[in-house]
Amino acid sequence: MTDLTVISAARATLPDTPFAARHLIDGVWCDSADGATFDRVSPSHGHVVTKAAKGGAKDVAHAIEAARLAFDAGTWSRSSGKDRAALLLKVADLIDRECERIAMMETLESGKPISQAKAEIEGAADLWRYAAALARTMHGESHNTLGDNMLGVVLKEPIGVVSIITPWNFPFLIVSQKLPFALAAGCTAVVKPSEMTPATTVILGELLVEAGLPAGVVNIVLGYGEPVGTAMTTDSRVDMVTFTGSTGVGKAIVKAAAATLKKVSLELGGKNPQVIFPDADLNSAVDAVVFGVYFNAGECCNSGSRILVHEDIAEDFIARTVALSRDVPFGDPLDPDTKVGAIITPQHQEKIDSYVKEAAKSGAQVRLGGAPLSVAGLDGQFYQPTVVADVTRDMPIAREEVFGPVLSVLTFSSLEEAISLVNDAEYGLSAGVWSENVHTCLEFALRAQAGTVWTNTWMDGYAELPFGGVKESGQGRELGRYGLDEFLEAKTVTMRIGRTRAPWVQPRTD
C-alpha cells in the first residue's frame, strides 16, 4: 500500500453544527408529522453532518396533495414558456451563487472530492439553463395534409404530478437531470433524495423558494424508501415516477406503479465495457480507463468497471493501468488535490471487498489493491485502487455492478468476440471503443447494446445529448429534448373547417 498516492486529512474547517434538513411541503418548511428524525454520518470524517426530518406516510400524502392541487390550479402548468424559463434561469444563477455551500455539503454527506463536487454543481446549473431554453421552444405539430377542410393539431401537455426519487452518488446533479425538465414541461413534483444525501436537495428547495416558485409546485420529503418512496410510487394522484438507482429497486417500482398504470422512467445500473484494440492510442486509453473506474470512487452507474483488451496488448495495457493507478490521489475529500474520496457506507465497502475476494478465489489475479485503505487523520471508510486481471465472463465481478474503485480486465481476440462479450450482459447503459480505425469504431457503435457509446473518449456528457439505458439499465431518457419529452403527453385535436362532412345517415323524406 505504501506505493499508492494517499492524501491524509486536510486542515479544512468543518461545520460547527450539523445541517438541519426539513421537508418542504406546499411552500412551507416543516418537521415530520410524528416528529421523527435521522442522522447522516460523514463517510470520510465519521461524525454527524446532517440531522434530517424522517418522513412518513402522512408527510408524503400532504406533499402529493399539494402537488396535485398546484398542478390542477394551473398557475404553473398553464403558465407561459417565457415565465417558466425566467424562473429556471433565476434558479441557475442562485445555484452558481451557492456553489461552495452546496459542494461542501455534498462532500460531507457522500465522501466525494470537493473539487469534483464543485464541478458537478457547475454542471447542474448548466442543466437548469438548458431546460429553460427548452421551456421557450417547446411546441406541438400541425397537419394540414389530411384532406379538404381538415386540420390536425398535436398538443404537448405536461404529464401532471411527478414523483422524483434520486440516489446518493450524484445527489445534486441527478435531481438537476430531472426536476428542471419536469418544471420546463409544466409539471409539479414531489422529490425524495436519498436518506444518505438529503442536504443538497434541501438547499435546492431553498433556492426554488427564493426564486419565487409558487407554493406546491415542488415539494421535498426526506426519509427512507419505505415508507416514503413506496407511497410516492403507489399514490393514484401521481401521474409519473422517475427514479435513478439500482436495478433491483427499479424493478420494484415498476411493480408498485403497475396498479395505477402511471408512467415510469428509470435510469438504473450498468456494467459498462471499454474495448481497447491494438491500434488504439494507448496512453489516452489508459488515462480514460483509470478515470472511468476511479471517478466518484467507482460509485457511478457509468463507471467503466469492465475493460476488454485485445490479447496482443493485454499485459502491456494492464501494466500501464496499474502504474497510472498508483498515481491517482486517494484520500481526504476536502483536500482539493484528492481525486478519489470515501466509500458511502461501511456496508457498501464490505460488498466491494467481497467481489474482489470472490474473484481471487475463482482464479482471477489481483494486480493492484484489493483491500480497504487507511487514511491518516480520518475515521471514514476508503478502498484501494484495485485492478483484477484474468477475469472470465462468468465471474460475478465481470457481470454485476460492484460500484467501487475496482477494474475487471477481460481479453478478446477479434471484433466479433469483443462485441459478444460486450452484449453478454443484463445491463446496457454505456460502452466505449478505442481504435484509430473509424470503421472499427462505427461498427462497434452500431452493434453494441447500450444507450450511449463513446469512441476514443469516456464519460463526456452534454445537456443536449440524451442519456439512458437499454435492457436492465432502464427505460426512458434524460437530457436533451428527449429529457423534456419524458414529462409530456401528446394530445390530438382533429378539426373540421366548415360544414362539409357528408351525413352518415340520410334523413327520411316521406
Residue 172 near residue 116, CB atoms below 8 Å: no
Q: Which of 98, 106, 267, 472 is catalytic?
A: 267
Alpha-carbon distances, residue 192 vs 166, 171, 179, 235, 496 (angstroms): 6, 10, 11, 14, 46
The C-alpha atoms of residue 417 and residue 424 are separated, in whole angstroms, by 10
Cell, residue 130: 438548458
Q: In one letter, which amino acid is 278?
A: P
119 sits in which H/E element: helix 114-137
Catalytic residue among 99, 187, 300, 301: 301
Closest CA to 287 of 316, 317, 330: 317
Strand, helix or coil for residue 66: helix
Grid cell for residue 275:
474495448
Distance (Å, whole) CA 342 – CA 89: 33
Q: Which three cell numbers stand for residue 94?
A: 442562485
Measured over the CA atoms of residue 425, residue 344, residue 50 and residue 206, the dihedral's sign is negative
Assigned C-alpha cell, 201: 436537495
Query: Which residue carries 492510442 as its cell?
Result: 281
Task: Take residue 413 and report the three cell numbers written for it.
Answer: 481476440
Per-residue cell: 215: 407554493
Respond yes or no: is residue 300 known to be catalytic: no
Is residue 325 within 8 Å of 290, Cβ to Cβ? yes
Count of helices and strands (H, E) across the chain: 15, 27
Please tell me the distance from the alpha carbon of residue 225 to that of residue 57, in angstroms, as a whole number.
Answer: 11
441 is catalytic: no
Q: What is the dihedral angle through the alpha carbons of 205, 210, 215, 216, rounded to the nearest 10 degrees?
A: -20
**How many C-beta neighbours within 10 Å does residue 190 have?**
31
Collapsing DSSP states into helix, strand and coil, what is residue 470?
A: strand
Strand partners, 122: none
CA pair distance 379, 44, nearest whole angstrom: 7
Sign for the pseudo-dihedral over CA of 135, 473, 457, 414: negative
**What is the residue type of 363?**
G
CB 53 within 8 A of CB 222: yes
Rg (CA), the chain: 25
User: DSSP alpha helices (H): ranges in 336-479?
Assistant: 346-361, 396-399, 415-423, 438-447
462 CB contacts (<8 Å, ≥6 apart)?
479
In which residue are the cell numbers 478465489 written? 361
Residues tagged active-site: 267, 301
